[in-house]
Amino acid sequence: MTKADLVASMAESADISKAVAEKALNGFIAAVGKALKKGDRLALTGFGTFSVSNRKARMGRNPQTGEAIKIKAAKVPRFSAGKSLKEAVGGKKR
């Protein structure tokens, strides 16, 4: 599914125009990005949780040359699916 498909689906299910649905989606994406940039978690009950994870520095290899390279530590976004989302996709029920 592309962003355009998602916007069309949101517009249809909420009975709003595609322009309004796209504004809402862009607003959601911006809010998630802003929260994660501050280091906050964003939890949507049943859907999942967005958070920031610290990835340690490590050694890697350049696949073209085989040369060892150092990969810097980084903060990376993380998403953990909630129970309802897992069940909707067909995950294990507890």
Residue with tokens 């990005």: 33
CA dist., res. 48 & res. 3, Å (int): 19
If one counts every other C-beta atom within 10 angstroms of the C-beta of residue 80, the result is 12
pLDDT tens for the chain, residues 1 to 94: 999 999 999 999 999 999 999 999 999 999 999 999 999 999 999 999 999 999 999 999 999 999 999 999 999 999 999 999 999 998 665 5
pLDDT, tens only, 29-50: 999 999 999 999 999 999 999 9
3-state secondary structure of 17: coil
Q: Which amino acid is at 82?
A: G
Whole-prediction pTM value?
A: 0.76
pLDDT of residue 91: 65
